[in-house]
Structure 1
């Protein structure tokens, strides 16, 4: 009977470790296939992305991007490295600053952006500069969430209305992975949903994959620990039986 119980416990432990490893390894593989890491050195996207964060971004075409998406892009007129900004306007839009409440407008409609950093005490607020830009077809108007310090489309208005070509888009940011203390998913915004035209796009399976990896690792550890605890309890029981 004891042998049978030992075999059942061993089989259950083996199943738990196997399933956990499949989740852990499979989740990592899918993350590596579907996402690319990018380091963000500045605070132009704070508080959504903090300086020093490493983000995970899903490769997409610029034509698939909508207003409100946070993207990774590279434009030689802006610099030599990849940058992270939020799409505010797409081809055909008129982006302007600002209405009486200080909100950016798109095609005359004010947009309430809850993610914008409003805590800055900078003396010169780029977010308060009056401007109006007509976005050419096939191009995107970008702004950082930390409007007071972000060097974005507003800083390049003299060149194609400050926009970048859709072809320069590398990926859509969906979460942060490092440091681990701040790792999280970045939710799709609904700020632009009332406007006709391309909205922020649906995100990929990042959150599910992260939970798969975490759950797999936890299952491996718990299964291994359970086997160790059961073995110790069995040895103590056998020792007491012999001593009695």
Structure 2
């Protein structure tokens, strides 16, 4: 009987150790991932349909905090600019400093430095603009358009004001990586391939997906570890004599 009791005691202690390790590892992943995510990302609510269908009015997005000098063509960014009302706005970068942006070619496409850009994300499938325009983007500035070109008030409107229509890179606050609310609309915002062949290519995805995996895995380990301890103790006691 003493040997059986000793074996059961070892099993209980082993189960408690495994449980503690799982919970501790889960806490590291969950809390570390949550803290890092809070430093990297900020939520924004999009008030209009100017970026539909990529982001609809009322949806909440997760945007990675970045400097404007990291922005590339195709990025969906959150920015502020006094000439645009000095409130956070969400638009897509279609041209950067030094680019000549023109619209539209014979197929209704935007061209950047003479190269046509396919934009499958456009509301209704296009065209790239409801009216023609051409602009030379000054160095250090970004030309921004909404994905719903028929309703978006963007760089085209400011061209009509007699300015270059662009905003300074310093006005960028973040780059949108995903929509987070409502839950049914949870999805990442991909980098468009249409800009990939232009100099500089497109930006790389942010760390959102690995962070979500870390947080989710951590939560599962915490729950699993917490459940494993009582189960191991029960099994270790064995059948009542």
Could you state the TM-score of these two structures normalised by the residue count of structure 1? 0.87
Alignment of 1:226-241 (within 5 A): 226-230=228-232, 238=239, 241=240
- Segments of 5+ residues of structure 2 without an aligned counterpart are 1-6
Output the aligned Cα RMSD: 2.2
The residue that corresponds to 2:216 in the other structure is 214
Closer/same/farther in 2, CA of residues 225 and 180 from structure 1, 3 Å limit? farther
| 2:72 counterpart of 1:79 | no
- Segments of 5+ residues of structure 1 without an aligned counterpart are none
Pick one of 173, 178, 182 that aligns with 1:179: 182
> In the aligned structure 1, how far is the partner of 2:215 from the partner of 2:162?
45
Per-residue CA deviations over 1:93-150 (Å, capped at 9, x if unaligned) read 1212212221111122110112222269xxxx88221111121222111011122221
The residue that corresponds to 2:114 in the other structure is 108
The residue that corresponds to 2:195 in the other structure is 192
> In the aligned structure 2, how far is the partner of 1:202 from the partner of 1:119?
25
| 2:147 counterpart of 1:145 | yes
| 2:168 counterpart of 1:165 | yes
| 2:99 counterpart of 1:93 | yes
Closer/same/farther in 2, CA of residues 41 and 185 from structure 1, 3 Å limit? same
3-state SS of the aligned residue for 1:115? coil
3-state SS of the aligned residue for 1:223? helix
Per-residue CA deviations over 1:5-60 (Å, capped at 9, x if unaligned) read 11111111111111111100000110111222222121211222222222222222
> In the aligned structure 2, how far is the partner of 1:192 from the partner of 1:13?
49
Closer/same/farther in 2, CA of residues 208 and 126 from structure 1, 3 Å limit? closer
Residues matched between the structures, number: 234
The residue that corresponds to 1:11 in the other structure is 17
Per-residue CA deviations over 1:151-210 (Å, capped at 9, x if unaligned) read 1111211242211112211122222333333333322222212123x3322233111111
> In the aligned structure 2, how far is the partner of 1:126 from the partner of 1:102?
6
Closer/same/farther in 2, CA of residues 228 and 44 from structure 1, 3 Å limit? farther
> In the aligned structure 2, how far is the partner of 1:87 from the partner of 1:208?
25
Closer/same/farther in 2, CA of residues 75 and 146 from structure 1, 3 Å limit? same
